Chains A and B, each alone.
Chain A
């Protein structure tokens, strides 16, 4: 009888052990599958090292987040033209740029929202060129702006607002869904930078030392309609409200680059909006002589973007403007912790500058940002 009493108990233990073993095996299998998918994703997503390097910008923000008093938002007209390192060296202002190629105004709005998850700057500087685009231009610009954004409700809303017809929200959560067909294009770079990457920017600034002067600029073709799209005005309103709600001073700017065109008719609309909403608007194109920009030496692509020399001139001028117009900005160079952090940024800034200078000295051109 005791035997018959023990038997069920013995069977129960054996069954439990077997179930546990099955569960462990299933768990291991699932983990192996997930690991495989993760590795495949790491391998297949674009690395942005030797092509479209600006694809690194959005993800690089998170290492620079925290303690920035000035936030620049916009397209290449901010990430090529303003140097946060120079602003720190001149004025002791902490700043960061959240830029991406052809960043559209809804990208910019969600960049601002995303930034507020990590820090609350005192000033947000928005470049208004993107007001000219009332609809998504291509998937590629969405990818450059949003693939690197950390997953959050802000990212999901940004993708929903930005995606073109063929894009899915899921592909921004699991990029493997989008890039799996890159297997036939894989190169050594994809393996080398599978788990690590290079740092392109200096708190969002993309450095170029080379010079391609402006010889001629084609006339701007007249447009059929100069009105900005209503969706752009709506996002500008939202950006202003978000800034107001968070006690951030919003400053509108137009960068001093000669191309693409910035029409007087567009400028008038921004001037009126700024007046109607109590905002500052600085058309830096009109101030290029005062800033001291020389389009013979201060641009690397014939007037579309400034090179390091031009960006440092513009930043020096803008630092003076901020000092005069935003007295709440503090010189933080006496903060030892902050100074140490920025000294490291200066070291990398000078390292990249020297690497590019070496390339120019040796070959007369820059083949890589990093040398």
Chain B
């Protein structure tokens, strides 16, 4: 009886161990299967999660990677760290910050004569999200300003540029948008876009 019991108990333990192993393997499979994507997703600013890019900082894109706006000695590229840009531009005439509905940081707008610079927050740091021109006192690095024509845009950016109401050019993670009204440029906007 004793031997028989030991045999049966061994069988049960083996079964128990097998189930544990299977469960552990299944759990590991489930978790490891999504571990890679899970880590990435957690960094995607999901509520309650810390942005894993929080301690990283983005490098300043070069003119080859992004359209840039030049104001005096200051070169402004999309997705560039905002702090040095705002400091270099000097005093702004107006400032407005828009808290996000849910997430960290603020979308900020710094106004200067003739243009605004907008920024976004990522990982606790601010980066340039756009530049918009409000009048013809400022021009793109290639020399186009509000009031010029599609022909002027072509001269600056290439003969193949076309558009009736707008011209949109992309370079890396930046977009340069010209809006046209009655044949003339009515708005010029630099926009940070996803690469």
Contacts and interface: CB of A to CB of B under 8 A. Distances in A.
Interface of A: 18, 21-22, 25-26, 29, 33, 37, 45-48, 51-52, 54-55, 75-76, 101-102, 138-141, 143-144, 166-167, 177-182, 185, 216-219, 221-222, 224-225, 259-260, 301-302, 304
A140 B97 contact: no
Chain B at the A interface: mostly helix, strand, loop or mixed?
mixed
A178 B30 CA distance: 11
Given A37-B27, A217-B96, A222-B186, 7 more contacts: A45-B48, A167-B41, A178-B46, A180-B38, A218-B109, A221-B130, A302-B97
A224 B132 CA distance: 13
A52 B48 contact: yes
A52 B103 CA distance: 7
B96 A55 contact: no
B116 A182 contact: no
B91 interface: no
Contact of B102 (A26, A141, A222): A141
A21 B12 contact: yes
Given A177-B30, A218-B96, A138 B41 contact: no
Given A45-B48, A180-B31, A75 B97 contact: no
A144 B186 contact: no
A304 B49 contact: no
Interface stretch (B15-23, B69-77, B120-128, B148-156): B15-23
Interface in B94-110: 94-99, 101-103, 109
B35 interface: yes
B47 interface: yes
B140 interface: no
Interface size of B as a range: 35 or more
A166 B37 contact: yes
A138 B34 CA distance: 19
B168 interface: yes
A218 B116 contact: yes
Given A54-B102, A76-B101, A224-B177, A29 B47 contact: no
A112 B35 CA distance: 35
B91 to A, nearest CB: 15
B187 A221 contact: yes
Contacts of B37: 166
B107 to A, nearest CB: 9
A168 to B, nearest CB: 8
A25 B103 CA distance: 47
Nearest to B42: A181
Contacts of A33: 23
Contacts of A29: 16, 19-20, 23
Residue picked from A22, A26, A221, most chain B C-beta under 10 Å: A221
A220 to B, nearest CB: 10
Nearest to A301: B99
B189 A221 contact: yes
B170 interface: no
Contacts of A304: 98-99
Given A221-B187, A224-B177, A75 B101 contact: yes
B179 interface: yes
Contacts of B98: 259-260, 301-302, 304
Interface in B21-56: 23, 27, 30-31, 34-35, 37-42, 44-50
A118 B39 CA distance: 37
B60 interface: no
B49 A179 contact: yes
B78 to A, nearest CB: 15
B160 to A, nearest CB: 19
B85 to A, nearest CB: 17
